[in-house]
Amino acid sequence: MTQPNQTAQRNEVPIQCPQCGNAYSSPVVTMIDVGAVPELRSYFLSGQLNVAVCPKCNTPIMLEVPLVYHDPKAEFLAIYFPQQLNIPELEKQKMIGELTQALMRSLPPEQRKGYFFNPRQFVNRQNLTDAVYGTMGISQEELDRQRKKAKLVEQLMVFADDPKGLQMMIKGKDVEFEGEFFAILNGMLEQASATGDEKSQGRLEMLRENLLPVTTWGKRAQKQRAAVESLKDVKDPEEFLDKIVSGDDDEVAAIALAARPALDYRFFESLTGRVDAAQGAEKERLVRIREQLLGLTQQLDQAAREDIENSVNLLQEIINSPSPRSAVREHVEEIDDVFMSVLTRNMEAASQKGDKALMSRLGMVYEEIMGLMQESAPPEVQFINDLVMAPYPDGTRQILSENREAVTPELLDLIGRMADEMAEGDDEGVAEMAKRLRDIRSQAMLMI
């Protein structure tokens, strides 16, 4: 499990694996200040914080340690003392004072407010989690509903490899297996993957694949996925139009979402031509499809405009702040592909205009985002990134020599897959990166 590298109070704790008995140590975070490191909140809520994975047998262990959680925007300060630690009350109060003082020392005087002297105390992780969600505006009712669905997922995992038993368990409950259920299942799957819980990951993947063909929502999702995948074989615009007009409402909607750029003026001109040439029920069906597609494209375009506008406003807020790098970390959860597209376009425009001051601030934003991506990447991906950034061949050879224990068949396989994926693109820069990865892989092979 990769812990975030940003500033946070950390300690090393000794661990003995309950599965294989292996002794090792792991870092734990004892202070979460989401004002300074916003991404720590998502690590905590997703159960990825303070999880150790045995290097010998890959067994994940949740490390329960005293923890300070601080959100300055919500004026929320909490201290978590795991109940199973059985800390005496006197010692607990002493620790509260020490932890609070440590947090206050890390903040400028103007940020030390009255709520620091009355931190909320929790002995149950779920109660603390609920309180954190509360600071985000998520109600207890919504949390209870989601937990009910998560519990259903856990119950069904027992039957993940038993299709007949699974069908008996879900009989008469089809209405419960809708989009939110599968979203929660996917979230649990991502969490299992992030924490290295391969057993749970495997069973959740099996459960999902066995549920899709036997639930109404799942069948619909499979049908939509098949419709989108069939576009890979389309050779020309007329064949694409054939795919559209031969589909039902669900398939039309899925294709529209996946292929919005193809629904251009020429497409609608061709579709209108078919409408004009048709008669009776077929004409009515094609008119209905055209109206559905026009409505969908308007919704998609409106959403895209809103996303771009929000990203433009966010970028302006970040570059106009006293510290663009700190602002990036504060808004890290709002940064997505649209924001990155807006950022790169603004960097190109600033470069063309020769606006060095603006280019400098935009460059700071870009570098900080790239740094955050590097920090949150798995260790093997970070290692590959270090290799790619190093001069070839001498710099890469030195890094490989200094990290021989990290050069494994699995790493070589990952480098190969990354190179193959990049080689499929048409961009010259990406193709050059694929070649660099293959060259590095050849170097690394000599060390195994």
The C-alpha atoms of residue 87 and residue 99 are separated, in whole angstroms, by 15
Strand pairing category for 10-16 and 31-33: unpaired
Max mean pLDDT among 7-16, 110-119, 358-367 falls in 358-367
Maximum Cα–Cα distance across the chain: 86
**Token pair in block for residue 416:** 């190969």
Per DSSP (E only), the strands in 128-194 are none
- Look at residues 195, 189, 188, 157 and name the one whose alpha carbon lies nearest to residue 58: 195
The C-alpha atoms of residue 2 and residue 116 are separated, in whole angstroms, by 30
Predicted pLDDT at 242: 92
- Out of 196-205, 211-220, 279-288, 313-322, pick the least confident: 196-205
The secondary element (H helix, E strand) that includes residue 245 is: helix 237-245
Confidence of residue 4 (pLDDT cuts 50, 70, 90): very low
pLDDT higher at 53 or 281: 281
Q: Please check whether residue 212 is in contact with residue 219, taking contact to mean a CB–CB distance below 8 angstroms.
A: yes
The C-alpha atoms of residue 139 and residue 145 are separated, in whole angstroms, by 10
Q: What are the pLDDT digits (tens) for 145-199?
A: 999 999 999 999 999 999 889 989 999 999 999 999 999 999 889 888 877 788 8
- Look at residues 98, 94, 9, 24 and name the one whose alpha carbon lies nearest to residue 57: 24
Dihedral sign (CA 92, 98, 104, 106)? negative
Secondary structure of residue 26 in the 3-state scheme: strand
Q: What are the pLDDT digits (tens) for 21-70?
A: 889 888 888 888 888 888 788 888 888 888 888 888 888 888 888 889 99
Q: Is the pLDDT of residue 422 over 80?
A: no
DSSP letter assigned to residue 354: T
The C-alpha atoms of residue 407 and residue 403 are separated, in whole angstroms, by 7
Q: What are the pLDDT digits (tens) for 206-230?
A: 999 999 999 999 999 999 989 989 8
Cα angle, residue 297 at apex, residues 294 and 298 outer, rounded to 5°: 85
Share of the chain above pLDDT 70, in %: 95
The C-alpha atoms of residue 379 and residue 5 are separated, in whole angstroms, by 11
The C-alpha atoms of residue 201 and residue 304 are separated, in whole angstroms, by 34
Predicted pLDDT at 214: 92
Q: What is the mean pLDDT of residues 417-422?
A: 80
Q: What are the pLDDT digits (tens) for 324-355?
A: 888 888 888 888 889 998 998 999 999 999 99
Predicted model pTM: 0.61
Amino acid at 52: A
Crossing angle for the helix pair 198-211 and 179-194, to the nearest 10 degrees? 160
- Look at residues 113, 38, 33, 140 and name the one whose alpha carbon lies nearest to residue 78: 33
Q: Is the pLDDT of residue 421 over 80?
A: no
The C-alpha atoms of residue 302 and residue 314 are separated, in whole angstroms, by 18
DSSP letter assigned to residue 33: E
The C-alpha atoms of residue 217 and residue 431 are separated, in whole angstroms, by 40
pLDDT higher at 65 or 1: 65
